[in-house]
Amino acid sequence: MHAKTAHELHALLADKKLSSVELTAAVFDRIEKVEAKVKAYVTLTKEDALKQARAADERIKSNQNVTPLTGIPIAIKDNMCTRAVTTTCSSRILANYLPPYDATVVAKIKAAGAVMIGKTNLDEFAMGSSTENSGFHPTHNPWDTKTVPGGSSGGSAAAVAAGEAILSTGSDTGGSIRQPASFCGVVGLKPTYGRVSRYGLVAFASSLDQIGPIAKDVTDAAILMNVLAGHDPQDSTSVDRPVPDYRKALTADVKKLKIGVIKELLGAGIDQAVKAAVQKAIAKFEELGAQIIEVSLPTFEYAVATYYLIAPAEASSNLARYDGVKFGPRTKAAKDLVSMYYNTRQAGFGQEVKRRIMLGTYALSAGYYDAYYLKALKVRTLIKQDFEKAFSGCDVLLSPTAPTVAFKLGEKTADPLAMYLSDIATIPINLAGLPALSLPCGLDRGLPIGLQLIGQAFAEETILRAAFAYEQNTDWHKQKPPL
């Protein structure tokens, strides 16, 4: 059961050929078998999950308010608040935090009748590209447990790839849904900024963070997106516009669709095997009737530097609240208020979080604000304008999701800059607030390669349509890890 998609399982549940209790138990059996190797979870909520599964079965039996998610086991990234279930952001500073409320996306998932099976591991406060920065333990890639699953939503992507969850949620600040989806051979969608509520998402960089689905195929991503999307008055950045039925976009027809191939993301720094797989995907789109156009986005070379000024600056501000006063553990080794702040943050935050807080505080400090932060905001505008120019002649833009396949655990931990460059293809999209999707398009040495499709603001339907057409004409999404 754990290997099936949500839409296949929904059909079995609706026809009463399977109960949600049986399905949930099957997923927990799978977790028992493989979790020691993968380490995708921080918290499992088996008792609650079985209770929710029984409620879902009652709902299906009485045929009341049944949705495509009713009875489907789903994992939640552990930076989204879950009422009375620990929400740690994989940080020691929040190790025992029990939120008094559900994040809007969690409330929506529960209202749809899905079964929450647990909270997945991530890079601490979503800062990282490998899930090695977790305050608890690194997560391993199900395709090769000596490699990383990507980050920061590594636990969410690994759980879906390993069959430890049917669906999961991720958050994406600079590639944190798409890059792990690429490394783990699953589908990950980062929606347009403002399309999904951030209320209850623990903030890393508020102008960049966005929640989205991680799934086994494009249909499942569309099903979960239908639930996640929509205006929320509790989030001032949430956009009030109608939500389409994303499943209706899955027509498998890309005739006359104009696809722009980003020249800068098929050049230096992109692995040969990745390049070859993406070129084959481009040929497949051409064969399906799409029009291929080469486009240039020259400001991309400044995107990583721009991001690493804006995101840490916002993190420095957002993480000021973790001071040993309001929530989380407080150090006992303190002689006054200042030393209490200092020692609590010193013990509670990991190396990468401290690094980014310092980078951000420096970029915002008197005398440096104009030279760094303000200049980065101006470059962000130029990147956005580059996208606008490219979209004046294209419907969708295409690139690799990551420059390489998954790298070995520990390979880049000593070199933060090499780690930061693994998000070179995903970061510009967050800076411009656009939607983008990663789906599998090949294998290299037995490890998945991801193809990234980028859309105009609020054009999730267009990228889902293109992704579905590609998926239906290839079988990369059917490949499973040998775990």
Annotated active-site positions, please? 77, 152, 176
SS (H, E, C) 57-117: HHHHHCCCCCCCCCCCEEEEECCECECCECCCCCCHHHCCCCCCCCCHHHHHHHHCCCEEE
Q: Please answer whether residues 379 and 310 qualify as being in contact, where contact means their C-beta atoms are separated by less than 8 angstroms.
A: no
Of 461, 440, 144, nearest in space to 277 by CA: 440
Q: Which amino acid is located at 457 in the chain? A: A
Residue 481 burial (CB count, 10 A): 20
Intra-chain end-to-end CA distance of the chain, in Å: 16
Instruction: Say how far apart CA 137 and CA 119 lie, in whole Å.
Output: 14
Instruction: Say how far apart CA 118 and CA 192 lie, in whole Å.
Output: 26
Q: Which residue has the tokens 């079988």?
A: 475
Instruction: Say how far apart CA 31 and CA 37 lie, in whole Å.
Output: 10
Q: Please answer whether residues 108 and 228 qualify as being in contact, where contact means their C-beta atoms are separated by less than 8 angstroms.
A: yes
| Ordered strands of the 291-295 beta sheet | 41-44, 115-120, 73-77, 167-172, 210-215, 187-190, 436-444, 447-454, 396-400, 258-262, 291-295
Cα pseudo-dihedral 362, 363, 368, 372, rounded to 10 = 150
Burial class (CB in 10 A: 0-12, 13-18, 19+), 452: buried
Q: Please answer whether residues 88 and 78 qualify as being in contact, where contact means their C-beta atoms are separated by less than 8 angstroms.
A: yes
Instruction: Say how far apart CA 384 and CA 379 lie, in whole Å.
Output: 9
What sign has the CA pseudo-torsion 18, 24, 25, 30?
A: positive
